[in-house]
Amino acid sequence: MNTPAPTTTFVPRLRRLAAALAAITMLAAAASAEAANVSLDPAATSASNGSQVSFDLLADFGSTVMLGGAVDVAWDALVLHFAGFAFDAGLAPPRRDTAFDVVDLQSSELLSVGLASFGGITLPAGTKLGTLTFDVVGGDGASTNLTLDASAKWSGYFAVNGDPFAASFAGAQFSVTPSTVPLPGSQWLMLGALAGLATRMRRRATA
């Protein structure tokens, strides 16, 4: 009885299986990378000069367990003046390790925000990292784009195994709304006088 060598059919099958598993892994990684994003909410808003405006910094890394990482936020300092950043209460310790918090105002128009947990942290869809607050200093009609990117100084985001984790970024648009200018007192007096004159003219016409 002639028995074929087991390797003649078994090895090719193993190779096909390994290739299939590699393809599935790559697809899963690609899908995970596409789902990873950091954004600002609202995506567009406006406020008048002298007021304050706030944006929530949101993250979505799916079910990936992260070490953490940082994002750069940039804007036009002639339109907005950085007032502060506060981490969301939902990320309170032990979820994040405050020893690794980053709130680094690198310039008047560049802020780095980061967090980490060496025990691992998940940032599923809708996770609020914190809130950015600005003073509006631009003139009527002035506008700026608030842009996000992986932090150049503090690196980007990392999975729990230490590998870099790619993310997409979505910023926001801001514009200064014209402020309401009250009429001077002299103009109110003139309007009153004109109303009185119109009343007299109507009475004369009636007589």
Predicted confidence at residue 169, as pLDDT, reads 97
Residue 9 pLDDT level (bands cut at 50, 70, 90): low
For residue 171, give the 3-state DSSP assignment. Answer: coil
Would the CA dihedral through 122, 127, 133, 139 be positive or negative?
positive
For residue 116, give the 3-state DSSP assignment. Answer: strand
Please say if the pLDDT value at position 24 is more than 70. no
Provide the token pair at 121.
């942290």
Contact yes or no for 63/122 (Cβ under 8 A): yes
Would the CA dihedral through 94, 99, 102, 108 be positive or negative?
positive
Integer Cα distance of 69 and 105 in angstroms: 16
% of the chain exceeding 70 in pLDDT: 70
Lowest mean pLDDT among 6-20, 106-120, 175-189: 6-20
Residue 33 pLDDT level (bands cut at 50, 70, 90): very low
**Per-residue model confidence as pLDDT tens digits over 181-204:** 555 666 656 666 666 666 676 666
Integer Cα distance of 91 and 123 in angstroms: 10
Beta bridge partners of 122: 65
Residue 3 pLDDT level (bands cut at 50, 70, 90): low
**Per-residue model confidence as pLDDT tens digits over 75-96:** 999 999 999 999 999 999 999 9
